[in-house]
Structure 1
């Protein structure tokens, strides 16, 4: 309101001054429809003045006055003109005649007053003429309402020039005639040569240029910011491409080195084989030459020794007898004996098949005979006492007679894999005399029982992929030295395997019973057992006490079965002190099982339906879990509790949570002080907070080697570099590519 009164006083002052100046001039200047004397209408009876409030916005539009109907003694004129035009429309010199009465007040003739901020009245010959201001549309971006500012019309708040503000300092650019400082402004406002229209036009021109300059400045700033962002993005992209190029070069260099090393190794191997072959050829040639020389020597000696002296003749003196042919100077007695033995062995080998050659497709090297995929239909008769290894894999042999190994009694390894052997076709005495036999492979045949009367010294027996459907109590009788037993892909189950069948195997350490029909863990496991593999069976439960006798068991594989966490007895293995590796992948688990072995170090739970990791589930383990694989499950945003990894903070080395539905980085990872590898790829993670993986307060060397976060919903440019400050190499952090949805 105070501002409104000041503006009204200023307005009256300008009106008096300019009206007086116009009365003194002989002519009135009218540039472009500028200043005009206001036309007044005197029709209508005198009476009480009608006052109507209005709004105005500076600067005003230029329009002539419009007359409104007469209200008693008051004529209301509405003007759309600007402020200065309205000020100049009254002759405000007071007279003594024609006084007016307005709202109980007596006004002199030609007196002017403002009953409200938006109405100006004039006493003219006894009549009251009132002019109401119509507020035009504001040419500014921000205005203040009259109720808040005390003005009639809204006032511009963004530095729009006002013709009634004498203290306004303006600066125009170019050749504009607008004032550039306060003195110029005052000179323009008081210059009698300029009309109000010209003044208003100058001010408007200044405002337009000012707005255009601001717009240009904003555009320049916008372009600069855009260019800066483009440069930053280009620099970041260039650095990423450079890092990718360096990584690709490093990989190519590593591959090149590996290929070169492999090529060098192959060349070295080829050179070594060639040297061996050449040495063997030279040795063979030398033996042939020696044999030829020895043959000639024997013939000559025989001829000489057959020339006996006649009876009537006296024997000649010993020194007169023909001297024997001298031996090679480099050949000693022991060398000659070795050559003779080799000659005999070669003769035996040459006659191993009844004096003929070896069957087609066979190859002999030192003490090893290989006849793989030679299309043999029978067991070849062999006479090679020095033979240690015999491989007949991939043939069509269906039987083994009792005397098959009589000519090769020193065999240590026999490979009869992928033939057509049947239990009825193997004589019960076939392997009986092979006292040196240590390994026997019978995989991929048609056996329905394990062969009997196997050598007592046998250490490894493989009968995988047969039709074995019964294990008797005495099947392994006398095999106390057996260490490795494999019976995978047969027809075995707990119903057709005697609980006492494994008892004779006092040294058994490695047992494979996968791809059979077991529904539970077989009973009677040996106390010496270290590794047990039961994958791809029908196992549904783990009963209590099943591993009580196998206290040395270290590795247990139960993958691809039908286990549920509720079917695992709490005391089945929790107190086991040797079981370190447990594979429960591809079962029917919905939770990480409780009561896991206390000594567990390596846990595989890949490909289950796990939705949650309960709190403190690893807390009882000592010294602590080191390898945890939970890939390809159903872990989501609420699956992992703050205490889920409690007990493994100082032991965890490798953690795989990839291919789940996680929404953020699980809590507790930043507390794992010994973590080396972290996999969180193929989830739904959107952000990586700075302290979610690396703890900034942790001191000492970091152990984290690799982090994988690709195929999530992360925007790599929004990830803070300090989020991976504990990773040894930035190139070991994989963030690309990311999903788009």
Structure 2
């Protein structure tokens, strides 16, 4: 076990904890492509047929239409054969009810980085899209989640907007939704809007104005991101129903010892817990199965080995690999000499 002393209060978070560095298999959809980057643009079918002149419809991929980064201000005409529509990086302000009437076969609709406003998205715009699975609307000017979204959605991204509230009606009937990105909005309350999301596995509501954890977290939830809010306490049943939860990130909140019920995080299944940049004075008890614990930049005054191991023997010890305690009110001298027995798998302890 290697002991590293770090005394800088402003120690950086691990790179894996930042939004920009989270692994996203569809990250290539976000940025503008350089000229000639993809084969479709070199073999575009713009001279005839039903492809609008402002877009590319490659004959090698006849169900995709590329209209991204074209300076568009209005929705183009969409042929009914299309399944994948790329409209990101434009200046589109509205989605009228009639704009998607022929797009009943769409599976992906990419409209991030536009200028959409909620009052200019028709309430019936998405009604006929019964097979849509992926809808990207991040980096627009939305003040609410669009109404009547398809119940077939699996991945909904509305981050980096101006959404203040999420109601049960906004997400009603979305039994197939597995990914919901709501981060970097102005959400103050979510009520019971998550209750019906039976398939949800990833919820990101970081960078909002929440003062409490959203109610009725879905049972299948696997990753929960709540960083950069104003949460000062956790409910007694916080992890009672979400037994599959493995990753909890609550850095940059207002959590205190009093606000965390006893043994809240002493549950099997958790792999990573980030409580850095809060107001904790003690190390909360965690399960021996936890692998990564981030507690830097709190007000912790004591290294309590019992928070990791109540019993230490050949078979009972912590599986913790990473422990960050730098930026607290303890030093390397406060680490008990017998910590190596309990934390025998820890490669690094930073204090």
| TM-score > 0.5 by shorter chain | yes
CA distance in 1, matches of 2:78, 2:332: 69
- Counterparts of 1:602-681 in structure 2 under 5 Å? 602-620=292-310, 624-649=319-344, 651-652=345-346, 654-657=347-350
Secondary structure of the structure 2 residue equivalent to 1:390: strand
Secondary structure of the structure 2 residue equivalent to 1:511: strand
Question: Which residue is equivalent to 1:455?
Answer: 150
- Counterparts of 1:201-240 in structure 2 under 5 Å? none
Contact kept? 2:308, 2:318, Cα under 8 Å: no
Question: Which residue is equivalent to 1:568?
Answer: 260
Does residue 512 (structure 1) correspond to residue 208 (structure 2)? The answer is no
So what's the TM-score if we normalise by structure 2?
0.79
Question: Which residue is equivalent to 1:422?
Answer: 117
Contact kept? 1:485, 1:512, Cα under 8 Å: yes
Question: Which residue is equivalent to 2:270?
Answer: 579
Change (3 A) 1:364 1:612: farther
Question: Which residue is equivalent to 1:497?
Answer: 190
TM-aligned CA deviation for residue 389 of structure 1: 1.5
TM-aligned CA deviation for residue 372 of structure 1: 2.4
For structure 2, which runs of at least 5 residues remain unmatched after alignment?
A: 1-36, 311-315
Match of 1:521 among 192, 204, 213: 213
Change (3 A) 1:549 1:622: farther
Deviations 1:89-136 (A, max 9, x none): xxxxxxxxxxxxxxxxxxxxxxxxxxxxxxxxxxxxxxxxxxxxxxxx
Match of 2:234 among 542, 546, 549: 542
Change (3 A) 1:611 1:363: farther
CA distance in 2, matches of 1:519, 1:415: 31
Change (3 A) 1:585 1:399: same
TM-aligned CA deviation for residue 350 of structure 1: 2.3
Does residue 589 (structure 1) correspond to residue 280 (structure 2)? The answer is yes
- Counterparts of 1:301-320 in structure 2 under 5 Å? none
Match of 2:90 among 386, 395, 401: 395
CA distance in 2, matches of 1:594, 1:607: 15
* Higher gyration radius (CA): 1
TM-aligned CA deviation for residue 524 of structure 1: 0.8
Contact kept? 2:175, 2:197, Cα under 8 Å: yes
Secondary structure of the structure 1 residue equivalent to 2:168: coil
TM-aligned CA deviation for residue 624 of structure 1: 2.5
Match of 1:471 among 166, 173, 177: 166
CA distance in 1, matches of 2:210, 2:349: 30
CA distance in 1, matches of 2:317, 2:218: 25
CA distance in 2, matches of 1:400, 1:622: 57
Secondary structure of the structure 2 residue equivalent to 1:638: helix
- The structure with the largest helix share of the pair is 1
Contact kept? 1:601, 1:625, Cα under 8 Å: yes
CA distance in 2, matches of 1:404, 1:373: 19
Contact kept? 1:466, 1:489, Cα under 8 Å: yes
Question: Which residue is equivalent to 2:21?
Answer: none
Deviations 1:169-202 (A, max 9, x none): xxxxxxxxxxxxxxxxxxxxxxxxxxxxxxxxxx
CA distance in 2, matches of 1:394, 1:364: 18
Match of 1:559 among 251, 259, 273: 251
Secondary structure of the structure 1 residue equivalent to 2:333: coil
So what's the TM-score if we normalise by structure 1?
0.39
Contact kept? 2:288, 2:320, Cα under 8 Å: no
CA distance in 1, matches of 2:180, 2:252: 21
Contact kept? 2:288, 2:309, Cα under 8 Å: no
TM-aligned CA deviation for residue 636 of structure 1: 2.3
Question: Which residue is equivalent to 2:7?
Answer: none
Deviations 1:494-550 (A, max 9, x none): xx3222x11211100100010111122221101111110000011112232222111
Contact kept? 2:132, 2:153, Cα under 8 Å: yes
Deviations 1:451-474 (A, max 9, x none): 122112110001111121222222
Contact kept? 2:265, 2:284, Cα under 8 Å: no
Question: Which residue is equivalent to 1:481?
Answer: 176
Whose relative contact order is higher, 1 or 2, with alpha carbons under 8 Å and at least 6 apart? 2
Contact kept? 1:615, 1:642, Cα under 8 Å: no
Secondary structure of the structure 2 residue equivalent to 1:414: strand
Contact kept? 1:481, 1:507, Cα under 8 Å: yes
- Counterparts of 1:102-181 in structure 2 under 5 Å? none
CA distance in 2, matches of 1:641, 1:462: 46
Deviations 1:594-614 (A, max 9, x none): 322343121112333434312
Calculate the aligned-residue CA RMSD, in Å: 2.6
Change (3 A) 1:630 1:406: same
Does residue 382 (structure 1) correspond to residue 84 (structure 2)? The answer is no
CA distance in 1, matches of 2:300, 2:263: 22
Contact kept? 2:127, 2:149, Cα under 8 Å: yes
Secondary structure of the structure 1 residue equivalent to 2:273: strand
Deviations 1:414-434 (A, max 9, x none): 111121212221111111111
CA distance in 1, matches of 2:300, 2:56: 54
CA distance in 1, matches of 2:163, 2:270: 29
For structure 1, which runs of at least 5 residues remain unmatched after alignment?
A: 1-272, 285-345, 661-741
Contact kept? 1:464, 1:490, Cα under 8 Å: yes
Contact kept? 1:612, 1:638, Cα under 8 Å: no
- Report how many residues are paired: 306
